[in-house]
C-alpha cells in the first residue's frame, strides 16, 4: 500500500504463511504476500522480509523455486521453519531430517537474552514446533540464540546481514510469546504502525468500484459473518440498486437458519435479498455420496447451478452482472490457492467452476485478502450490529461438512488398533498402559493438518473418566504426534454404554434433522450459560457410529481469531453433565468432546 510501511512475506506454501501476514497486520503494519520467486523490483520499498514455512524439504527435487537475489536486498529478514532452513541452506549451511519430528509445544531456551529479537521474552518460553527437517550446520557468520531439548538450533542470528531464523512458529497462537517476538522484528525493521480497518476501507472501496465498473453485483449470502459483511459493504459502496443478494437454503442449514437470516438483514433495511429453497436439489445430488471432497465439490457446483437458475428467473443479463462471494483468505490457502500450498480441503467457493469464472474476471471477492478477525473489525467499522458481526462462523456447505457419511463398511484405509505403532515401534496399547488411560481408535477418518500438509487419519476416543482439560491436552498432543494413524482426539462426556458400531450414513434430510436437533441444543446451552461469545465457534458433528442404535455426537468448541490456528475451548465439566442429560433425553448414544488443537486437527471434521 502506498505511503505505508510494509513487510513482505514470501509464501512457500505453508498453512501458516498467511497467518504470519495476519499477525504482522495485527501489530499495525501492512503486510503483503509475494511469490518467493518474485523479481527484486517487486519488493522495492519494503521495510523487512519474512520467509514463511512450507511443506517441502529444501533439498528435495520439487522444492519451491525462489529468487536467490532477494537475499541481497538491504533490509532485515526473518526465516520461519522452512524459511529458516532455506536461508541457512542458501548460504552454505546444512539441513537434514531431524532425529525427532516435533509437532506441538516445546520449551524454547533463550541463549542470547540481550538480542533485540528476544526483548521482553522470558529465557524459557513455550513455542510451537511443527517440522521434520532441521538445520544441522550453520553458515559462516551465524550464531545460535535459542534451542529446545530436541532442536539445538531453534533460533539463529546473523548480525552482519540483519538476519534471523526460527525453527519454531511465532505466528501460531500456541507460541505464548510469539507475538512479542514478531513485534520485536517489526521494531527491528523500523516500521511505523499505521495499518487498520479504518485505513483499509477507502482502499477496498476504490477496488470494488474499479472492478465492478458499470456492472451490477449478485452476491450469494449464506448468512454467516463473512457474507453478511460483504453484503453490507457492497450495499454501502455501490448502493442497493446495484446489488442483489441471494440466500440459498441447501437443506444443510442450522435450525430455522434461513428465516433468521432474512429477519436479521431486513431489520437492517436491506430488502434486496431473495431466498430460494433448493434443499431438494442439493440432497438429490448428494444421494449415496460419502467422500468429503466429492461432497464439497457437489455442493459448490450446485450453488452455481441454482444461482444461474435464479438469475434466469429474474431475467438478469449475465453480461451486466458479476457474481460476488464472501470468500476470506483461509478459504483459498486451505484449498491450495497459492502456488506452493498443500491442499487441506476444497472449499465450496473454490471448486473448478468458480475458478473458471474468476479467470474471466466475473467473480468479485471483496474480503479475499482478509482474515476472520479483520472481517469482524471491518464489520464494526461499517457499523454492523454487534450480534451480526459476532455470530459463530458457519461454513458455506453448512452442516454438509458436519455430517460424516459412510457406506457402513470398514475400508482398507482404516488402521486396526493392533497395528497402530509410534515411530519407535511402541504399540498404542503399550502407550495406554504406561499412561494408565483407557480409549480406542475409531474406525472413521477426519481431516487434519500437520507440518504444513494435509492429513486424513483416524480419531482416538479417550474414555478415562475424570480427566482434567490439561491432561486431555497432554494426551491429545502426544497421541497425534506419536501415532501417524491418529490426527484427532475426542474425550467422552457421556454414553449410554456399549461398543460403537459403524453404520451406513448419508446426506439425507432425516440425518440433517437429527444433526440440527443436537446442534440447536448446543447453541442454546452456550447462550444460557453465557458462553456464546466466549467460545469462538462450536461445530457439532454427527458421526456414522451408533451405540445401542443411537447416534454418536461430537462437540468441537474452539477459540481462534483468524481460523488458521485454534485451541480447543475448555468448558466447565460440571456444566457438561447437564448438557449430556439433554443429549441423552434427545436420543443420543454418546457425546464426545474434541480436545484437539489446530494443528493437528482442522476446525471442521471434513
Instruction: Specify binding-site residues.
Output: 222-228
| Residue 458 Cα to chain centre, angstroms | 19
Q: Name 359's Cβ contacts closer than 8 Å, sequence gap at least 6.
A: none
Cell of 419: 497395528
CB 262 within 8 Å of CB 378: no
Is 81 among the catalytic positions? Answer: yes
- Separation between Cα atoms, residue 58 and residue 385, nearest integer Å: 48
**Which element (helix H / strand E) includes 406?**
strand 406-407
Question: What are residue 143's DSSP bridge partners?
Answer: 157
Q: Which of 18, 84, 169, 174 is catalytic?
A: 169
Annotated binding site for ATP: 222-228
Is 407 among the catalytic positions? Answer: no
**By three-state DSSP, how is residue 167 classified?**
coil
Within the chain, how many helices (H) and strands (E) appear? 16, 26
Residue length, the chain? 606
Question: What are residue 488's DSSP bridge partners?
Answer: 459
What does the CA dihedral 479, 481, 483, 485 come to, rounded to 10 degrees? 100
- Separation between Cα atoms, residue 500 and residue 490, nearest integer Å: 14
Is 169 among the catalytic positions? Answer: yes
Q: What is the DSSP letter of 152?
A: S
Q: Which of 81, 151, 472, 552 is catalytic?
A: 81
CB 268 within 8 Å of CB 232: yes
Q: Is the dihedral of CA 121, 20, 62, 44 positive or negative?
A: negative
Q: Which of 478, 484, 502, 494 minimizes the C-alpha distance to 596?
A: 478
Judged by phi (left if over 0) then psi (alpha if -120 to 50, else beta), residue 57 lies in: beta
Q: Which of 102, 171, 302, 374 is catalytic?
A: 171
Catalytic site residues? 81, 169, 171
Amino acid at each position: 500500500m502506498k505511503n505505508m510501511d510494509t513487510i513482505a512475506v514470501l509464501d512457500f506454501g505453508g498453512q501458516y504463511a498467511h497467518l504470519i501476514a495476519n499477525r504482522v497486520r495485527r501489530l499495525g503494519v501492512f503486510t503483503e504476500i509475494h511469490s518467493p520467486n518474485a523479481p527484486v523490483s517487486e519488493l522495492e520499498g519494503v521495510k523487512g522480509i519474512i520467509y514463511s514455512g512450507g511443506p517441502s524439504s529444501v533439498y528435495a527435487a520439487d522444492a519451491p523455486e525462489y529468487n536467490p537475489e532477494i537475499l541481497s536486498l538491504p533490509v532485515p529478514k526473518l526465516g520461519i521453519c522452512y524459511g529458516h532452513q532455506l536461508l541457512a541452506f542458501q548460504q552454505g549451511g546444512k539441513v537434514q531430517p531431524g532425529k525427532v519430528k516435533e509437532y506441538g509445544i516445546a520449551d524454547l531456551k533463550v541463549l542470547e537474552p540481550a538480542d533485540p529479537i528476544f526483548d521482553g521474552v522470558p529465557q524459557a518460553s513455550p513455542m510451537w514446533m511443527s517440522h521434520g527437517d532441521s538445520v544441522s550446520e550453520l553458515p559462516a557468520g551465524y550464531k545460535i540464540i535459542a534451542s529446545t531439548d530436541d532442536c539445538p538450533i531453534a533460533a539463529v542470528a546473523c548480525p552482519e546481514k540483519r538476519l534471523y531464523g526460527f525453527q519454531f512458529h511465532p505466528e501460531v497462537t500456541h507460541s505464548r510469546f510469539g507475538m512479542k517476538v514478531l513485534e520485536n522484528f517489526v521494531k527491528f525493521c523500523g516500521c511505523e504502525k499505521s495499518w487498520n480497518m479504518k485505513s483499509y476501507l477507502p482502499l477496498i472501496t476504490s477496488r470494488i468500484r474499479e472492478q465492478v465498473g458499470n456492472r451490477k453485483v449478485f452476491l450469494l449470502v449464506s448468512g454467516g459473518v463473512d457474507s453478511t459483511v460483504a453484503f453490507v459493504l457492497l450495499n454501502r459502496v455501490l448502493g442497493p440498486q446495484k446489488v442483489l443478494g441471494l440466500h440459498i437454503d441447501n437443506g444443510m442449514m442450522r435450525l430455522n437458519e434461513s428465516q433468521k437470516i432474512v429477519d436479521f438483514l431486513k431489520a437492517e433495511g436491506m430488502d434486496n435479498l431473495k431466498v430460494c429453497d433448493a434443499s431438494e436439489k442439493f440432497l438429490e445430488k448428494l444421494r449415496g455420496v460419502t467422500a468429503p471432497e466429492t461432497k464439497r465439490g457437489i455442493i459448490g457446483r450446485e450453488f452455481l447451478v441454482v444461482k444461474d437458475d435464479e438469475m434466469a428467473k429474474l431475467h438478469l443479463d449475465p453480461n451486466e452482472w458479476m457474481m460476488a462471494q464472501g470468500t476470506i483468505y483461509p478459504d483459498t490457502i486451505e484449498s491450495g490457492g497459492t502456488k506452493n500450498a498443500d491442499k487441506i480441503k476444497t472449499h465450496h467457493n473454490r471448486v473448478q467452476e468458480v475458478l473458471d469464472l474468476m479467470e474471466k474476471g466475473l467473480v468479485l471477492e471483496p474480503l479475499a485478502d482478509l482474515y476472520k478477525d479483520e472481517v469482524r473489525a471491518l464489520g464494526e467499522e461499517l457499523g454492523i450490529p454487534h450480534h451480526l458481526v459476532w455470530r459463530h462462523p458457519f461454513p458455506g456447505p453448512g452442516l454438509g461438512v458436519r455430517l460424516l457419511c459412510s457406506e457402513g463398511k470398514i475400508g482398507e484405509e482404516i488402521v486396526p488398533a493392533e497395528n497402530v505403532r509410534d515411530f519407535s515401534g511402541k504399540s498404542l496399547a503399550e502407550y495406554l498402559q504406561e499412561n494408565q488411560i483407557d480409549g480406542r481408535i475409531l474406525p472413521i477418518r477426519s481431516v487434519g493438518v500437520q507440518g504444513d500438509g494435509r492429513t486424513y487419519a483416524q480419531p482416538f476416543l479417550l474414555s478415562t473418566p475424570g480427566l482434567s482439560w490439561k491432561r486431555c491436552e497432554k494426551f491429545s498432543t502426544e497421541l497425534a504426534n506419536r501415532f501417524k494413524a491418529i490426527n484427532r482426539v475426542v474425550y467422552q462426556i457421556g454414553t449410554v454404554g456399549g461398543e460403537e458400531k459403524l453404520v451406513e450414513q448419508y446426506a439425507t434430510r432425516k440425518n440433517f434433522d437429527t444433526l440440527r436437533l443436537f446442534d440447536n441444543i448446543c447453541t442454546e446451552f452456550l447462550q444460557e450459560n453465557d458462553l456464546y461469545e466466549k467460545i469462538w465457534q462450536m461445530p457439532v458433528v454427527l458421526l456414522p457410529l451408533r451405540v445401542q442404535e443411537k447416534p454418536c455426537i461430537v462437540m468441537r468448541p474452539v477459540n481462534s481469531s483468524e481460523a488458521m490456528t485454534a485451541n480447543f475451548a475448555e468448558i466447565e465439566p460440571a456444566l457438561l453433565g447437564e448438557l449430556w442429560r439433554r443429549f441423552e433425553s434427545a436420543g443420543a448414544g454418546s457425546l464426545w468432546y474434541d480436545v484437539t488443537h489446530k494443528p493437528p486437527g482442522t476446525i471442521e471434521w471434513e
